[in-house]
């Protein structure tokens, strides 16, 4: 009932209702309109304007497309590879989460920093690095052939189902480490200590006390990784090796770019959107349960150096090997960016030639300028949307169903939204649509950042302003935003970093005379110009990494 008293002091009940409704009315069209256009303008669109929108003919056409063998095959592959990728991500991430949650050791912060890899390393560039590290002519195979004198590459899995799931696992297991580690560290230790005092062994304590406590957190992390893998685009597009390894996202792109079949693309978008929204709702429920089962502060961590020697050696081996796996695509990208391919099949040599060509090529310089300009526009749009959403919120940080609603862009991917803009603007959506799609994908992260920071502002300041007759918008403008300066700058950096590595919407919309770094790197990769593509990839990763480092530093500063 508190919000009613607040709004009664600041104005009438009708005005307070309008303020709470305004963000819904202004933000919802950003993702509902293009998604609706993709669905209604595709499978349910009228044939030549001669039939009704939801006629029997349009419904029959929709069901026929939905039951086609190609769409069902894409759905099966999407579900299968997402399930296997999630399982492998959990297998790689849970031991690291346990070590981070329970022990102190040298290099702990460095290992924890691996959780930023999925954000600093855009999927298309991660794929490029994965190929340069684990491909047939990659660093690993080259090293094994030289070390053991092998005539051919011993590892040949990059362009296959195994390559897709391994790449997904290497990209996403740091998220499992971070998310499950955070939950594990906040599990109350008192029940475990009591069980030890009663003589229970460690295996029984884990099975009966620890595992039930962290299970909601594990399930939440698994559902989020499953969602990312299910909606994956760049990795299966590059490593899939054919239509048989196409996810639903790739099938949407193929239906638009190859077949010009918007009815089929819209049908796939509706199918994928329904599945993704269900997984997102499940993640929100599991995340709420994991938070409810944890304490506010992390428990005390034991020094790893004080444990048994076998545990110390096993932990060191796991940390080094899993860290090397996570960083191997980045290492492959970096090493390949400093190579020059010999003529007529000659051996590659170390060289700075790719960077010289990059910084002397007009196309690359134009791509850098356009990418930075787009990133700044997306940052301004994303943070502006996030600030708008704060108008109708309280200080508690609890968003309820609105949190799920405004997080829907996570489930409605940039490929789906781009499809909607292509339906809305058949003559060309342009750069403006590209900025809107990227800002729609970025604002949930900015909103979460600002909302969490705002919940830490002392409530007494808000109450004093309300007693003096200030309205909620005025409190936000004159009190909250100045105190949220660091969070605002952090959100700007996060949105800019997301824009720098996003190429899904750019591939779909393909705005004319507007090259982007990630898109240029992808096309160079397609023409086998790997050193130049890797050089551009290193630049994108460096910019995104600096932006995320700045965001992390700003998020630790007081407002």
Residue-wise pLDDT tens digits, 46-93: 544 445 555 677 777 778 888 888 899 999 999 999 999 999 999 999
Is 438 part of any domain?
yes
Is 464 part of any domain?
yes
Is 412 part of any domain?
yes
Q: Distance between CA atoms of 144 and 152, rounded to whole angstroms?
A: 10
Q: Return the closest-CA partner of residue 446 out of 383, 378, 374, 401.
A: 383
**DSSP letters of 120-177?**
HS-HHHHHHHHHHHHSTTSHHHHHHHHHHT-SS-S---SSSHHHHHHHHHHHHHHHHH
| Mean pLDDT score, 512-533 | 84
pLDDT for 3 equals 43
pLDDT bin (cut points 50, 70, 90) of residue 222 is: very high
Is 424 part of any domain?
yes
Record the pTM: 0.86
- pLDDT digit string (tens) for 326-382? 999 999 999 999 988 766 555 678 889 999 999 998 888 998 999 999 999 999 999
pLDDT for 10 equals 44
Q: Which residue has the higher pLDDT, 410 or 339?
A: 339
- pLDDT digit string (tens) for 278-315? 888 888 888 877 776 666 566 678 888 888 889 889 99
Share of the chain above pLDDT 70, in %: 83
Question: Which of these ranges, 37-41, 101-105, 149-153, has the smallest mean pLDDT?
Answer: 37-41
Show the domain range for 359: 1-34+352-559
Q: Distance between CA atoms of 503 and 234, rounded to whole angstroms?
A: 9
CB 196 within 8 A of CB 241: no
CB 194 within 8 A of CB 85: no
Is 548 part of any domain?
yes
Q: How many domains does the chain have?
A: 1
Q: Return the closest-CA partner of residue 118 out of 225, 248, 249.
A: 225
Is 214 part of any domain?
no
143: exposed, middle or buried (Cβ count in 10 Å: 0-12, 13-18, 19+) = exposed
Q: Is the pLDDT of residue 37 over 90?
A: no
pLDDT bin (cut points 50, 70, 90) of residue 473 is: low
pLDDT for 345 equals 52
pLDDT for 322 equals 92
- pLDDT digit string (tens) for 420-467? 998 888 777 788 899 999 999 888 888 888 887 777 777 666 666 666
Q: Distance between CA atoms of 501 and 473, rounded to whole angstroms?
A: 34
361: exposed, middle or buried (Cβ count in 10 Å: 0-12, 13-18, 19+) = middle
Is 493 part of any domain?
yes
pLDDT bin (cut points 50, 70, 90) of residue 9 is: very low
Q: Most confidently modeled of 3-17, 78-92, 397-411, 443-457?
A: 78-92
pLDDT bin (cut points 50, 70, 90) of residue 242 is: low
Largest CA-CA distance found in the chain, in angstroms, rounded:
81
Helix H or strand E segment including 104 = strand 103-104
3-state secondary structure of 261: coil
- pLDDT digit string (tens) for 167-217? 999 999 999 998 898 888 888 777 887 888 888 887 888 888 888 888 988
Q: Distance between CA atoms of 491 and 498, rounded to whole angstroms?
A: 11
pLDDT bin (cut points 50, 70, 90) of residue 124 is: confident
pLDDT bin (cut points 50, 70, 90) of residue 325 is: very high
* CATH number of the CATH domain containing 447: 1.10.3720.10
Q: Is the pLDDT of residue 1 over 60?
A: no
Is 537 part of any domain?
yes
**DSSP letters of 24-87?**
HHHHHHHHHHHHHHHHHTTTTS-STT-S-TT-HHHHHHHHHHHT-HHHHHHHHHHHHHHHHHHH
Q: Is the pLDDT of residue 123 over 50?
A: yes
Question: Which of these ranges, 260-264, 400-404, 538-542, has the smallest mean pLDDT?
Answer: 400-404
pLDDT for 199 equals 81
Average pLDDT, the chain: 82
């Amino acid at each position: 009932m508190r919000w009613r008293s607040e709004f009664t002091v600041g104005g009438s009940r009708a005005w307070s209702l309008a303020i709470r409704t305004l963000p819904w009315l202004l933000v919802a069209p950003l993702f509902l309109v293009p998604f609706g256009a993709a669905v209604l303008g595709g499978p349910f669109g009228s044939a030549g304007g001669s039939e009704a929108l939801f006629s029997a003919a349009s419904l029959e056409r929709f069901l026929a497309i939905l039951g086609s063998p190609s769409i069902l095959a894409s759905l099966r592959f999407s579900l299968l590879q997402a399930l296997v990728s999630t399982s492998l991500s959990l297998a790689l991430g849970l031991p690291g989460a346990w070590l981070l949650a329970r022990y102190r050791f040298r290099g702990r912060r460095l290992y924890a920093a691996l959780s930023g890899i999925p954000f600093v390393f855009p999927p298309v560039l991660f794929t490029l690095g994965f190929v340069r590290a684990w491909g047939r002519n990659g660093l690993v195979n080259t090293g094994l052939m030289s070390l053991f004198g092998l005539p051919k590459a011993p590892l040949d899995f990059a362009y296959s189902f195994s390559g897709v799931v391994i790449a997904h696992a290497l990209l996403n297991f740091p998220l499992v480490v971070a998310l499950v580690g955070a939950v594990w560290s906040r599990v109350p230790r008192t029940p475990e200590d009591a069980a030890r005092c009663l003589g229970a062994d460690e295996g029984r304590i884990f099975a009966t006390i620890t595992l039930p406590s962290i299970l909601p957190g594990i399930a939440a992390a698994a559902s989020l990784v499953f969602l990312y893998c299910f909606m994956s685009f760049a990795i299966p597009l590059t490593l899939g090796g054919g239509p048989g390894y196409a996810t639903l996202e790739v099938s949407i792109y193929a239906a638009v770019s190859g077949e010009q079949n918007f009815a089929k693309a819209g049908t796939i978008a509706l199918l994928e959107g329904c599945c993704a929204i269900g997984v997102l709702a499940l993640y929100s429920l599991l995340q709420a349960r994991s938070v409810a089962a944890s304490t506010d502060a992390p428990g005390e961590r034991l020094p790893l150096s004080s444990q048994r020697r076998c545990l110390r050696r096993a932990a060191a081996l796991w940390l080094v090997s899993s860290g090397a796996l996570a960083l191997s695509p980045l290492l492959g990208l970096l090493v390949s960016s400093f190579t020059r391919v010999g003529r007529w099949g000659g051996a590659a040599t170390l060289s700075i030639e790719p960077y010289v060509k990059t910084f002397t090529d007009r196309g690359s310089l134009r791509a850098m300028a356009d990418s930075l300009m787009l990133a700044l526009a997306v940052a301004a749009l994303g943070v502006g949307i996030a600030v708008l959403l704060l108008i109708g919120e309280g200080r508690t940080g609890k968003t309820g169903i609105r949190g799920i609603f405004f997080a829907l862009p996570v489930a409605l991917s940039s490929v789906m939204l781009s499809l909607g803009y292509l339906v809305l603007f058949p003559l060309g959506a342009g750069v403006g649509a590209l900025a809107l799609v990227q800002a729609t994908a970025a604002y949930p992260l900015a909103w979460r950042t600002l909302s969490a920071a705002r919940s830490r502002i002392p409530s007494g300041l808000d109450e004093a302003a309300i007693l003096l007759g200030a309205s909620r918008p005025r409190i936000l403008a004159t009190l909250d935003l100045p105190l949220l300066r660091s969070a605002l700058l952090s959100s700007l950096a996060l949105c800019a970093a997301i824009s720098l590595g996003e190429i899904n919407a750019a591939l779909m919309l393909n705005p004319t005379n507007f090259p982007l770094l990630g898109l240029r790197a992808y096309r160079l990769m397609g023409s086998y110009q790997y050193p130049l593509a890797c050089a551009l990839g290193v630049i994108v990763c460096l910019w995104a990494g600096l932006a995320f480092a700045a965001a992390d530093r700003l998020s630790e500063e007081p407002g």
